[in-house]
Amino acid sequence: MKVAIYPGSFDPVTLGHIDIVERAASIFGKVFVAVIKHPEKQANFSFEDRMKMLKNATKHLKNVIVESFSGLLIDYAKKKKASAIVRGLRAVSDFEYEFQMALTNRKMCPQIETIFFMTDYKYAYLSSSIVRQIAELGGSIAGMVPPNVENELKKRRK
Ligand code: PNS
């Protein structure tokens, strides 16, 4: 069974992320969604909240497991016996960072391939930071995040 890792900070998870998880889950036997515990940029949501929102939003996918990791992603991927790391690509602006990360991981472990999923056009504009900004300023984030995340952000505003 082919195993993939879909890593990220998920701060918070968006429908763009869920679209990628669903598509990865239809190709791989098992997908570990790996939430980084201590992201490089300080996360806005606590680690526990990011995990909870993701678990809730992926519970319909039986071959998806939400876990956490710290340290090097490639070490976590090796531990899980993954054959691939999955990342989503939106605009050209994503490319440089993703290119560097994929090549670095490949240098450290050539057996694990990084596979990119092109975003669905519906989510091409979407990012966790855009969602946070809209929610903080009182706008609607319906259709941008899973319903449980929308409710969570509404509760926070109150
Ligand atoms: O959602 P993000 O913030 O774009 O995810 C970035 C993430 C977590 C995938 C990346 O920062 C990462 O893999 N961090 C772990 C540290 C690591 O392995 N660094 C070396 C590869 S560049």
Which residue owns the Cα nearest ligand 1 atom 19? 72
Please give the Cα distance from 96 to 11 (Å, whole number).
21
For 65-96, how does the pLDDT look when each residue is reduced to its tens digit (9 = 90+)? 999 999 999 999 999 999 999 999 998 889 99
Please state, as a whole number, how many other Cβ atoms lie within 10 Å of the Cβ of residue 75: 13
SS3 state of residue 71: coil
Q: Is 16 in the pocket of ligand 1 (CB under 6 A)?
A: no
Identity at 117, one-letter amino acid code:
F
Q: Is 9 in the pocket of ligand 1 (CB under 6 A)?
A: yes
For 14-62, how does the pLDDT look when each residue is reduced to its tens digit (9 = 90+)? 999 999 999 999 999 999 999 999 888 899 999 999 999 999 999 999 9
The reported pLDDT for the residue numbered 146 is: 97
